[in-house]
């Protein structure tokens, strides 16, 4: 299967690398061709436009920073939809090509684009990832997939080459809802961990000890085991920026508003990150939200022995579908 991949940022470059490492015929594209240099050197092809890629690939993946960026890549004059229409209009045999949206995007927007993909004679799925850049690099990240069952089964070999746990979430759009839900929870956890660490420091607790106490307790979480480490190191480098958190929070709030949930915590988190982005810059690493408390209290949340970045120490294993229990 020939796979096209558009969007070679922090996450996308690593997902594309997993495909190449697992011997897929890969064609890459990014606005900055230098982002594809390592992939091309390892054997990937290059597409001069999204349309060119869509005409040639069996599956085209987009992994872009915003819904607006995805719409531009899809609907431009030389976009994916134009390439899909040319491909299906050429009366070539075989199964319909697939568009896979791996960006964190809006549920309604991905459904709108999926309808246009269907009109062009192709299949669509939204398949965002969760688990951090360190797991994207090793092929051990989790992937949500929203689509009909036949499309999921066709896409599963590709998804399994990029991720370890592959969850079929339901129809198109369902994966995007769950992605913003899980990112919202991670953000709430990050802010609460900052408060916990600063409070521990001012209460006279050794921060190495505080880290371990949280890790072995009911307060533990994936966010603690990753982001707390780079907070305590001081690098705050988790390959995720303030503006991306702001986007995710706004997407979650939009879903809740559509379904009539009167949110209480989310507006507070939005205010916290709006303030942090204004203070430190939209492209600052998101764990540096803790600086707000450090500055307010004069306490430096630092401890020896923690890494500057998180690396995945687990070996890559073949991905597989996660089966949902039904009782």
Tell me which of 90-94, 242-246, 252-256 is least confident.
90-94
Burial call 223-256: b when 16+ CB within 10 Å, e when fewer: bbebbbbbbbbebbbbbbbbbbbbbbbebbbebb
Please give the biggest Cα pair distance in the chain.
72
Average pLDDT, stretch 281-303?
98
Average pLDDT, stretch 152-164?
98
Fold of 2-172: Rossmann fold (3.40.50)
- The pLDDT-based confidence of 93 (bands split at 50, 70, 90) is low
Residue 30 sits at the vertex; the CA angle it makes with 245 and 134, to the nearest 5 degrees, is 50
Cα separation, 100 vs 147, whole angstroms: 10
CATH 3.40.50.720 domain span(s) along the chain:
2-172
Residue 190 sits at the vertex; the CA angle it makes with 188 and 196, to the nearest 5 degrees, is 105
- Rounded to 5 degrees, φ, ψ at 130 are -150, 135
The pLDDT score that the predictor gives to residue 91 is: 41
Cα separation, 23 vs 14, whole angstroms: 14
Q: Is pLDDT at 89 greater than 90 in this prediction?
A: no
Work out whether strand 141-146 and strand 45-46 pair parallel, antiparallel, or are unpaired. unpaired
Task: Tell me the per-residue pLDDT of 122-146, one tens digit each, with 9 for 90 and over.
Answer: 999 999 999 999 999 999 999 999 9
- Under 8 Å between Cβ of 74 and 35: no
- The pLDDT-based confidence of 88 (bands split at 50, 70, 90) is low
Query: pTM of the entire structure?
Result: 0.94
CATH 1.10.1040.10 domain span(s) along the chain:
180-297
Question: Considering the domain 180-297 in this protein, what is its CATH number?
Answer: 1.10.1040.10
DSSP string, 144-206: EEES-HHHHHHHHHHHHHHEEEEEEEESTTHHHHHHHHHHHHHHHHHHHHHHHHHHHHHTT--
- Under 8 Å between Cβ of 139 and 162: yes
| Residue from 308, 125, 142, 128 nearest 227 by CA | 308
Q: Is pLDDT at 39 greater than 60 in this prediction?
A: yes
Average pLDDT, stretch 256-285?
98
Tell me which of 82-91, 213-222, 252-261, 300-309 is least confident.
82-91
Average pLDDT, stretch 183-193?
98
Average pLDDT, stretch 151-161?
98
The pLDDT score that the predictor gives to residue 157 is: 97
CA distance to 65, 269, 310, per residue, from 287 (Å):
19, 13, 13
- The pLDDT-based confidence of 326 (bands split at 50, 70, 90) is confident
Q: Is pLDDT at 288 greater than 70 in this prediction?
A: yes
Computed over every residue of the chain, the mean pLDDT equals 96
């Amino acid at each position: 299967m020939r796979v096209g991949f558009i969007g070679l940022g922090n996450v996308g470059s690593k997902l594309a690398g997993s495909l190449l490492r697992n011997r897929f015929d890969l064609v890459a594209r990014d606005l900055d061709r230098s982002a594809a240099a390592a992939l091309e050197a390892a054997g990937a092809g290059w597409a001069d436009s999204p349309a060119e890629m869509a005409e040639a690939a069996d599956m085209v993946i987009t992994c872009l920073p915003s819904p607006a960026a995805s719409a531009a890549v899809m609907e431009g004059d030389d976009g994916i939809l134009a390439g899909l229409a040319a491909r299906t209009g050429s009366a070539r045999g075989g199964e319909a090509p697939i568009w896979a949206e791996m960006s964190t995007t809006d549920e309604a927007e991905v459904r709108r684009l999926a309808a246009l993909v269907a009109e062009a004679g192709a299949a669509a799925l939204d398949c965002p990832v969760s688990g951090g850049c360190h797991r994207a690099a090793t092929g051990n990240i989790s992937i949500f997939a929203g689509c009909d069952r036949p499309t999921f089964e066709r896409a599963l070999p590709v998804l399994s080459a990029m991720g370890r746990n592959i969850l079929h979430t339901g129809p198109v759009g369902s994966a995007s809802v769950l992605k913003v839900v899980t990112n919202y929870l991670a953000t709430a956890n990050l802010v609460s961990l900052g408060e916990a660490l600063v409070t521990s420091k001012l209460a006279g607790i050794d921060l190495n000890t505080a880290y371990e106490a949280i890790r072995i307790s009911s307060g533990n979480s994936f966010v603690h085991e990753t982001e707390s480490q780079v907070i305590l190191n001081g690098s705050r480098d988790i390959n995720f920026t303030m503006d991306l958190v702001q986007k995710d929070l706004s997407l979650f709030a939009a879903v809740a508003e559509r379904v009539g949930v009167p949110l209480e915590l989310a507006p507070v988190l939005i205010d916290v990150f709006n303030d942090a982005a204004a203070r430190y810059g939209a492209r600052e690493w998101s764990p540096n939200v803790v600086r707000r408390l450090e500055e307010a209290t004069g306490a430096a949340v630092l401890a020896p022995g923690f890494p500057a970045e998180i690396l995945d120490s687990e070996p890559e294993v073949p991905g597989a579908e996660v089966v949902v229990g039904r009782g």
